[in-house]
Every structure is written in C-alpha cells, then in structure tokens.
Amino acid sequence: MDTRREKEQETSFTKITALLLKSRTGEFELESILFLKLRSLGIFDLGCIGDCKSLERLDLSGNNITNLTPLASLRMLRALNLSANRISNLEPICSCESLQSLNVAGNLISSIESLQCLQSMKNLENIRLKDNTRNYTNPVCKNPSYRNMLLEMFPNIKVLDGERLVGRGSELYQLCKDIDEALKAGTYKNGQLMELPDCKPWVEDGFWEIKRSNNAIIEEACKQFNDVLSECRLLNTKASHMITHSERTLSGKNQPKQYAV
C-alpha cells in the first residue's frame, strides 16, 4: 500500500483533466465530487477543476500553481489548502462565498494589500499564511505588524496561522505560546541560572498517534490535531535543549577549582 502511494506521488500531472479527477475520486460525474486531494503532483494548470461545482474540500498543496482563476466557480467550497505553491494573487477565490478555511502558507503573497480582497468573504474563519511545523511562510509575514494588521482586517477570525484565537482549544495554543516565550527568555532569573527540575514524559511513546481514515472530514481534523502535536514536539525539543544546557552549566559550577602547583 505504501509503495503504491509513493509511486502515485512521484507521478507528475501538469494539468488537471477530467480523466485525472475521475480516476482519483472514482466518480463518473465531476459535479458529484465533494472531496478532492491532489497533493504534490507537479500541477501548474488547474484545467477543469471549476467543473466540480459541488466540491466542498480541496487540497492542492505542494504543486506549482500560480493562477487561481478556475477556482472562482466553486461556490460550495468550504476548505481550501493551497500551501507550498507559487501564488501571489488571491482575488479569484473571493467568489468562493462558502469558504471557511484557507491555507496559503508557503507562497509568494507579498503584502497586506494582497489580502484585502478576502475581506468580503463573510464565512472565512481560518486563515493560514505561515506554518512553522513545515517551515512554510510568505513574504508578507516578515512585516512586524503583520499579525495585528490581519486581526484588524478580519475581526471575526477564529484561527490564524494554526493558532486558535477563540473557542475550544484557544487555551492550549496560548499555553504553547507562553511556554515558547519562556524558553526564548532563557532559564536565567536576576542574572542567575535557575536550577530546573527533572522532567519525565507525561505518556508513553506513541500514545498520541492516531490511525488514518479514508473519511476526508476526519482526515482534516486529524491533520489539525497533528499540527498541534508538532508544535508541542518543537517546544519539547527546545525545552530539552535548555535543560541539557543548564545541567552542563550547573555541573561545571559544582566542580572544585583546581590550581596548578
């Protein structure tokens, strides 16, 4: 099974065709397709994707897409993943009035002005322009005021760059952020190195691993959950590094001074 999937991913499709869509979904009619995943296929031409009028979830991540015009007719689309492409203009998707979740991390969006076209999308709740777990970003994210300006533009947004701002789960994201800031600040207090307690894993290895599902909705939920786990693992790595550094420093301080005779 894994070998077959790897071979499929290695196959390159420069343009989306009806044959490609039907073979990937098993549907005879393009208008019957609800969920579609076309990751890392080398696609740069969206072709007839606009004929999938009932499409609700679409994953086109990891391709070479620049022109989103064919997506303009997808009025039922609720979740769109365009990460890791070459997109600089988002205007064509503004007519996707049902869109709730948009991932464009790892593209060429250069300015806040490039995002203003999305303000007319009243159902948009989740926007992602950078993904630290995959090192995806956009030039606009380098702007120091990027986050504040985006929150001002989209006051009703619930999730920004994978961080839940309101609702269930927002406390977890805030906790992760607080831990990360504490690690960045170091382990020094009043100029003195603080002694850190011994830390043990909360659960056994593999405890958080979850089985894959063929259901697209469940798979999307699993992806979001795994993104949170990846953030936690990054924090764990930083914490382990700081603990190791502190232990070495403390052990060096405890060594008796030696004098040459």
Domain containing 125 — which CATH number? 3.80.10.10
pLDDT above 70 covers what percent of the chain?
69
Sign of the Cα torsion 93, 218, 211, 168 reads positive
> Regarding predicted confidence, which is higher, 184 or 149?
149
Q: Are residues 123 and 197 in the same domain?
A: no
Q: Are residues 244 and 188 in the same domain?
A: yes
Q: Enumerate residues 6+ apart whose C-beta is below 8 A from 122.
A: 97
Highest-confidence segment of 126-135, 204-213, 227-236: 126-135
Amino acid at 101: S
Give the CB-side neighbour count of residue 200, counting CA atoms within 13 A. 2
At residue 252, the pLDDT reads 66
* Closest to 179 (Cα-Cα) out of 122, 128, 242: 242
Lowest mean pLDDT among 58-67, 100-109, 188-197: 188-197
**Claim to verify: residue 193 and residue 157 sit in the same structural domain:** no
Q: Are residues 32 and 124 in the same domain?
A: yes
Which parts of 130-239 are beta strand (E)?
A: 159-160, 163-164, 188-189, 192-193
pLDDT tens, position by position, 158-192: 999 988 886 544 445 555 555 555 555 555 555 55
Q: DSSP assignment, residue 41? A: S
What is the predicted pLDDT for the residue at 74? 96
Whether the per-residue pLDDT at 148 is higher than 70: the answer is yes
- Domain-ending residue, one of 129, 162, 195: 162
In this prediction, residue 243 carries a pLDDT of 77
User: Based on the domain organization, do 113 and 225 belong to the same domain?
Assistant: no
My answer on whether 53 and 116 are in the same domain is yes
Average pLDDT, the chain: 80
Whether 53 shows a pLDDT value over 50: the answer reads yes
Q: Are 87 and 107 in contact (CB under 8 A)?
A: yes
Does 128 share its domain with 18?
A: yes
The lowest-confidence range among 33-37, 199-203, 222-226, 242-246 is: 199-203
Rounded Cα–Cα distance for residues 72 and 181 (Å): 41
d(CA 133, CA 118): 25
Indicate the pLDDT class of residue 256, thresholds 50, 70 and 90: low
Which backbone phi and psi does 179 adopt, to 5 degrees?
Answer: -65, -45
Give CA–CA dist 140/120, Å, rounded.
20
247 lies in some domain: yes
Domain extent at residue 106 = 7-162
Rounded to whole angstroms, the Cα distance separating 162 from 58 reads 18
| pLDDT over 90 at 155, yes or no | no
Tell me, yes or no, whether 154 and 248 share the same domain.
no
pLDDT at residue 35 greater than cutoff 60: yes
Do 54 and 145 belong to one domain?
yes
| Structural domain count of the chain | 2
Name the least confident of 6-20, 90-104, 126-140.
6-20
Out of 90-94, 170-174, 227-231, which region has the weakest mean confidence (pLDDT)?
Answer: 170-174
C-alpha of 108 from chain center: 16
pLDDT cut 90: percent of the chain above it: 49
Judge whether 180 lies within some domain: yes
* Residue 257 backbone class (left: φ over 0; alpha: ψ -120 to 50; beta: rest): beta
